[in-house]
Structure 1
Amino acid sequence: MNETQRQAGTGQGILLLCGSCLPILGAVLLGPVLAEVQAHFIATPNVAALTPVMLTIPALMIAVFSPLAGWLADRFGRRLLLLIGLLVYTLFGTAPLYLQGLHAIVLSRAGLGLAEAVVMTICTALIGDYFEGRSRMLWLSLQGAVASFAAAVFFGLGGALGEFGWRTPFWLYVAGIVMFPFALKLLWEPSRPHRLTPHLGAQTLPWRVLAVAYPFALVTGIALLMVPIQLSFILHGLGLDSPATAGLLSAGNQASVLAGALLFRLLVRFGYVPVFGGGFFAAGAGLLLVSVSKGQGGLLLGGCLNGFGCGLLLVGLITWALAALPSKVRGVGAGGFNSCVFLGEFLSPLVILLLRHGGVSLVSAMAFCGWGLVALILPALLAPLAIRVQAAALPAAD
């Protein structure tokens, strides 16, 4: 279904934005009810480790399989793979509604992550395929902004639905099958020659850029979910147990990711230096504030500051990377970027768990991670100066 004359417009852009939100739903929906899930399965061995893993294992699967999804999309085409991914997303996403064991639920979440790897990678690649230049930058900025807005909404919904039982939020995964007929009608296989040829190898990837963007994306992924995942446990320690409260505070965190993503287009006019440096400063300072807060106000402010920095970084890094990626390997490059972000999301609770096993309190572990982000300000300032990628050059690499 390769159509050479069709031009993408608002309909295609909105649909791809919605598709980009689906993996975000998988990542944030259960944050407000983690404490309830752990209490329900308290008799299950290793429940303290399995409960956060249930939330983040989709991110691990995205991290592992996004490059493969990108390669398959580059080699065989985008559209059919995306349609299959939407169906599989709903199949595995709703499975915990009837599964009874924690281990089975964790496995179903792994299957969800496979579908998310396909959906997220192809939606990002199609934005690069369908749009050019400044239009592409606009849709990438909106991708980060809309995903962050959706995360805020999903956190609020997850907390509200969690009041009716921890299984109730899983109904929202029907979103995949709802999107299917719209994707079938509105999307087509890109006409540009994006498939890999035998002469295209690793040398076609802009590794000087990716060697910076990928590690920064990994760290950003770790920071992105640190507040939402740990917030219910921090509130529990303060005697403020409530899924709704955790959901609202987490929604504030993700709404600030939206604000950071939207502000990117203003800051990038001055180059990527203020985007990267300011992003790491805000993300780290937010975690430091969360670590010393004793009430909801401080937690909200710290979470919002952290989210703002993460929003700047996510949109800035993917825009910087895609600007340097040739169209023939855009799927692989976007898959690698998503892999790093979601690997970071999977590692986020494990980093805290490792620090806790070392005898560090939860709030001290958050402070340690905050200082780690602040320490990245200097390399974040130097990287775009050493490796220049002009936003106006989109898509100069084609």
Structure 2
Amino acid sequence: MSASEATSAPSSPAWRPGTPQAALLLTAACASVLGSLLIAPVLPQLKRAFAATPGIDTLAPMAMTLPALGIAVLGPVVGWITDRFGRTRLLFGAMLAYGLIGTAPLWLDSLTLILVSRTLLGVVEAAVVTVALTLLGDYFSGSRRDRYMSWHSVVTSIAAVGILAVGGGLGSSGWRTPFWVYAGALPLLAAMMVLLREPQFDRAAAGLGVRQVSPLPWRALAPLLTLTVVGAVCVFFVLQVQLSFVLDDLGVGSAGIGASAAIANAGVVAGSLSFMRWARHGAGRLLVAAFLIGPAGLVLISEGHDWTAVTAGAFVAGVGCGLMLPSLLIGTTSRLSFDRRGRGTAAWTSAFYLGQFLSPIAVGALGAAGGSLPDTIRYCALGGLLAGGAAVLLLRRHPLIVSAHDEPRHADGVGPAEPASHG
């Protein structure tokens, strides 16, 4: 791969991506959170509405988890399309499909068709999230790119709290009502068509033919992707999914569970903001710290005997998760040149959402082996600590680098003059 990564604005040379474009892309990247959490408060209503359906106890929760499975499985395909055929057209088409498919359960009377629509929604979410994060990498460089990538976990954590509140509020009017929120993709699409431009890649300068893409640097990416799966399975989604069950076993009501979940997500925000503040002084250390602090918080949760103790542990675990996500995302994207960025970003997204799908299965398997929920959480914490040890070894061979300053840019203002490629 050549060391040059030439990009140019598709129209006026005076066009510059800035805060409006970043805000739009960060909002779009929340699509996966919307898909997973919006209907969580109405799952009991959905279950009652289709109570006569065989296997309803298993099928109803799948309405929440299937979009994540769609992202995990088809994310790599989306990444390949993004690198080979371009960014914005795929994003525009995916946003239109997101609005249409997301609202489909408003009119569907079959649980099977609803689950099919939720699976298709995951496919569309894979495209939206992958292209949004890829364009963040295309439009910005250096410390500015790293800052916006860090904001991704901040924005999605804040969005998670808001989405749960919106889903619960709208759910008071019936289980179908929250699905109207997906129609918000249409005005967002209109804004994208006005504000976003397709970055162009000089394939000849990079030694590539038309539609040709260079291979991914799997040797550099595989350890980070593995850490992403392990971190998601053993830490992040143990916190997000199992916290409510721990509190329920302690006799805490729904209001207390909601407050604890909000505080846990506040911890994620605090961790992400800390990463933004301290990463330039040692991003690798922050990644190792994430795999120490997150599991420590899980241990505190497992040892807690009342709401206060468990919630304190949830906040600590959230801080670890907030350090973990931007460390792994930036560590991955920093190793990608322009024509690899779509596939590499999709690989990270797939790894993370594969962890979301696998985490409840892993916890269930450990529980079935005879352990209580607190014991299972401690086992997961141990897995996270082992991942932290692996991170130490990884960083000796492939240091985690973030930029202390913005990289030189082409005159068109789109993309860095040199790629941050470690292949």
TM-score, structure 1 as length reference? 0.90
Aligned residue number for residue 2 of structure 1: 10
Distance 1:97 1:10 in 2: 35
Aligned to 1:179: 188
Q: Of 120, 125, 138, which aligns to 1:116?
A: 125
The amino acid that maps onto 2:97 is V
CA gap of 1:290–1:117, structure 2 versus 1, over 3 A, is same
Stretch moving more, 97-106 or 10-19: 97-106
Q: For the Cα contact (< 8 Å) 1:53–1:346, is it kept in 2? A: no
1:322 paired to 2:330: no
SS of the equivalent of 2:100 reads: helix
* Cα distance between partner residues in 1 of 2:345 and 2:184: 23
Q: Is residue 29 from structure 1 mapped to residue 38 from structure 2 by the alignment?
A: yes
> How far apart are residue 43 of structure 1 and its match?
4.7
- Aligned partner of 2:260 in structure 1 is 249
- Asked whether the equivalents of residues 268 and 319 of structure 2 are also in contact (C-alpha less than 8 Å), the reply is yes
Corresponding residue number in structure 2 for 1:229: 241
Q: Distance in 2 between matches of 1:49 and 1:361?
A: 21
Q: Of the candidates 57, 62, 68, which is equivalent to residue 59 of structure 1?
A: 68
Amino acid at match of 1:142: W
Cα distance change, pair 103–295 in 1 and its aligned pair in 2 (3 A): farther
Deviations 1:195-224 (A, max 9, x none): 97476442xx22232111101111233232
Q: Is the aligned partner of 1:79 residue 2:79?
A: no
Letter in 2 for 1:287: L
Could you say if the C-alpha distance between residues 238 and 100 of structure 1 is closer, same or farther in structure 2, counting changes exceeding 3 Å? farther
Following superposition, the deviation at residue 62 of structure 1 comes to 0.6
**Structure-1 separation of matches of 2:51 and 2:312:** 32
Structure 1 residue 362: deviation in Å? 3.0
| Deviating more after overlay: 333-342 vs 247-256 | 247-256
Shift of 1:350: 1.7
Q: What does the per-residue CA deviation read over 1:324-357, in whole Å, with 9 as the maximum and x for residues that have no partner?
A: 1111111011111111011111112222222233
Which residue is 1:372 aligned to? Answer: 383
Q: Provide the residue aligned with 1:295 in structure 2.
A: 306
Alpha-carbon separation, structure 2, partners of 1:67 and 1:17: 20
**How far, CA to CA, are the matches of 1:36 and 1:245 in structure 2?**
21
* Equivalent residues of 1:22, 1:176 under 8 A apart: no
Deviation at 1:384, TM superposition (A): 1.7
Aligned 8 A contact 1:208 1:387 in 2: no
Aligned to 2:410: none
Unpaired stretches in structure 1, ≥5 consecutive residues: none
TM-score by length of 2: 0.85
Whether contact under 8 Å (2:214, 2:339) holds in the other structure is no
Deviation at 1:58, TM superposition (A): 0.8
Report SS of the residue matched to 2:421. coil
Matched, 1:128 2:152: no
How many residues align? The count is 395
Considering fraction of residues, name the structure with more helix: 1
Superposed CA RMSD: 2.5
CA deviation map 1:126-174 (0-9, x unaligned): 0111111122112111222112221222233334444554444333222
**Residues 93-172 of structure 1: matches in 2 within 5 Å?**
93-172=102-181
Question: CA separation in 1, counterparts of 2:304 and 2:49?
Answer: 29
Q: Is the 8 Å Cα contact of residues 58 and 111 (structure 1) preserved in structure 2?
A: yes
Residue 397 of structure 1: aligned partner: 421
Distance 1:51 1:358, change over 3 A: farther
Q: How far apart are residue 299 of structure 1 and its match?
A: 3.0
User: Partners in 1 of 2:400 and 2:288 — Cα distance?
Assistant: 16
Q: Match for 2:371: what amino acid?
A: V
Distance 1:111 1:273, change over 3 A: same
Which string of whole-angstrom CA distances, capped at 9 and with x for unpartnered residues, describes residues 242-266 of structure 1? 2x44333322222222221111123
State how far apart, in whole Å, the 2-side matches of 1:296 and 1:168 are: 32
Percent identical pairs in the alignment equals 37
Q: 2:228 aligned to 210, 214, 217, which one?
A: 217
Aligned equivalents of 1:191, 1:4: Cα separation in 2: 13
